[in-house]
């Protein structure tokens, strides 16, 4: 839609950037005149009180619901970000990557019910076995990394350099786990 359209264009037909700014304005107590001024600056003149009222009753409510869903998702995954940071700080990037992949896979599977699993087994049995094997492999690799980290710490105490970082095999496993989701 071009900026040339004027009063006949409802706010809900304007670009998302303009709608977001209008919605933030309304959420913060702005008036219809404030919303009209935002539209005017974006090249959409002639917005009136009825346009803003219509927007507030429709697209703005959807915007508010979307903001609420985003906030819920942020809160839901904030602890996972903290977990990855903990592993990155304490266990290195390889362990953090594997822990994140394992957590994402387990999280995706938490919403799967028995009926879904039965259907998956009936339709594509190799997929469920691949998921189970990947979970098992990720858990084993994470345990191996922790063991290796302890061994590396012991070897550093003995004066030997420790090896850290993601190997190509680690990256391939993480990518494979992400593709299963």
| Count of structural domains, the chain | 2
| 109 and 164, same domain (yes or no) | yes
Q: Which residue among 48, 66, 84 closes a domain?
A: 66
| 62 and 105, same domain (yes or no) | no
Burial of 36 (0-12, 13-18, 19+ CB in 10 A): buried
| 112 and 58, same domain (yes or no) | no
pLDDT at 1: 45
| 97 and 156, same domain (yes or no) | yes
Q: Is 9 helix (H, G, I), strand (E, B) or coil?
A: coil
Does the residue 78 lie in any domain? no
Q: Domain range spanning residue 106? A: 92-180
Q: Are 57 and 45 contacting, i.e. CB atoms less than 8 angstroms apart?
A: no
Q: Is 131 helix (H, G, I), strand (E, B) or coil?
A: helix
| 122 and 170, same domain (yes or no) | yes
Minimal CA–CA distance to 61: which of 9, 25, 23? 23
pLDDT at 48: 92
What are the contacts of 138-143 at 24+ separation with CB within 8 A?
138/98, 138/101, 138/102, 138/105, 138/173, 138/177, 139/102, 141/98, 141/170, 141/173, 142/95, 142/98, 142/99, 142/102
pLDDT at 87: 63
| 110 and 146, same domain (yes or no) | yes
Does the residue 172 lie in any domain? yes
Does the residue 175 lie in any domain? yes
Does the residue 141 lie in any domain? yes
**Token digits of residue 142:** 């994470």
| 96 and 174, same domain (yes or no) | yes
Does the residue 71 lie in any domain? no
**Token digits of residue 154:** 């012991």
CA distance 155 to 83: 27
pLDDT at 4: 45
Does the residue 148 lie in any domain? yes
Q: Which residue among 22, 51, 66 closes a domain?
A: 66
Q: How far apart are the first and last CA of the chain?
A: 36
| 97 and 164, same domain (yes or no) | yes
| 47 and 97, same domain (yes or no) | no
CA distance 18 to 26: 12
Q: In sequence order, what are the residues at sequence separation of 6 or more whose Cβ sits closer than 8 angstroms to the Cβ of residue 10?
A: 51, 54, 55
pLDDT at 150: 76
Sign (positive/negative) of CA torsion 64, 66, 67, 68? positive
| 105 and 172, same domain (yes or no) | yes
Does the residue 16 lie in any domain? yes
pLDDT at 6: 41
| pLDDT tens-place values along the chain, 181 residues long | 444 444 445 798 899 899 999 999 999 999 999 999 999 999 998 899 999 999 998 889 988 988 888 888 777 777 666 766 666 666 666 667 777 777 777 776 776 777 777 776 777 777 777 777 777 787 787 778 777 777 777 776 766 555 555 667 777 777 776 666 5
| 27 and 106, same domain (yes or no) | no
Does the residue 40 lie in any domain? yes
| 98 and 175, same domain (yes or no) | yes
């Amino acid at each position: 839609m071009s900026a040339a359209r004027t009063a006949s264009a409802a706010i809900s037909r304007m670009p998302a950037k303009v709608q977001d700014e209008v919605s933030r304005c309304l959420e913060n107590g702005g008036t219809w005149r404030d919303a009209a001024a935002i539209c005017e600056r974006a090249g959409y003149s002639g917005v009136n009180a009825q346009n803003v009222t219509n927007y507030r009753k429709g697209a703005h409510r959807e915007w508010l619901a979307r903001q609420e869903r985003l906030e819920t998702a942020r809160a839901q995954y904030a602890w996972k970000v903290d977990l990855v940071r903990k592993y990155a700080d304490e266990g290195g990037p390889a362990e953090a990557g594997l822990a994140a992949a394992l957590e994402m896979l387990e999280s995706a599977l938490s919403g799967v019910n028995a009926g879904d699993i039965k259907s998956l087994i009936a339709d594509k049995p190799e997929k469920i076995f691949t998921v189970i094997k990947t979970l098992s492999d990720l858990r084993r690799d994470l345990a191996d990394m922790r063991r290796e980290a302890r061994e590396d710490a012991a070897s550093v105490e003995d004066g030997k350099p420790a090896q850290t970082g993601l190997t190509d095999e680690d990256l391939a496993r993480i990518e494979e786990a992400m593709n299963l989701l």
